[in-house]
């Protein structure tokens, strides 16, 4: 009985290796990228690139282990959830209220240490961000929020409850 169960599990493991989700790859220019409407200093962009954009953009750099199931499904799920939260490549395609509130969420999550996810930084050691890097991201996001407040009426920016 044990051998049959083990054999069945091995067969299932082999079969699922041929079933992969669609890759999050959209090479080329992203016309709705946040950097098209708001200035991103080079140091902030490098932090976003190493710690955020693999999941929060339309172009993920896939590690070697994504060639194997169930890891590929697990990563694809994380990317879908992350892009649902905020997609930097589709950012300017959204309302001002969305843009403002996502910047606010970025500041809150970075401040609390909720982003990048621990499960991401366990494997991607270079994605860990220092206190100085957190401050750079928060200062950048706050500066954009301040510029939005100065340019647009507050009613159009603040999420109504």
- What mean pLDDT comes out for the span 5-26? 81
State the angle between helix axes of 42-51 and 131-151 in degrees (0 to 180), rounded to the nearest 10: 120
Residue pLDDT, tens place only, 102-151? 999 999 999 999 998 888 888 888 889 999 999 999 999 999 999 998 88
Residue pLDDT, tens place only, 149-159? 888 877 666 66
The label of the residue with tokens 């969305």 reads 98
Report residue 6 as tokens. 């083990």
Report residue 75 as tokens. 């990563």
Q: In whole angstroms, how far apart are CA 78 and each of 41, 57, 119, 130, 156? A: 27, 12, 10, 23, 31
| Domain residue ranges in the chain | 23-156
Residue pLDDT, tens place only, 47-92? 999 999 999 999 988 888 888 888 888 889 889 999 999 999 999 9
């Amino acid at each position: 009985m044990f051998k049959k169960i083990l054999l069945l599990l091995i067969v299932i493991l082999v079969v699922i290796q041929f079933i992969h989700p669609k890759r999050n790859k959209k090479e080329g220019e992203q016309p709705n990228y946040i950097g098209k409407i708001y200035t991103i200093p080079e140091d902030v962009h490098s932090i976003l690139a190493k710690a955020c954009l693999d999941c929060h953009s339309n172009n993920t750099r896939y590690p070697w282990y994504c060639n194997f199931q169930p890891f590929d499904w697990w990563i694809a799920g994380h990317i879908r959830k992350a892009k649902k939260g905020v997609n930097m490549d589709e950012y300017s395609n959204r309302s001002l209220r969305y843009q403002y509130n996502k910047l606010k969420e970025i500041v809150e999550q970075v401040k609390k240490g909720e982003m990048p996810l621990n499960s991401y930084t366990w494997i991607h050691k270079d994605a860990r961000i220092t206190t100085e890097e957190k401050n750079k991201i928060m200062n950048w996001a706050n500066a954009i929020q301040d510029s939005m407040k100065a340019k647009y009426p507050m009613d159009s920016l603040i999420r109504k409850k």
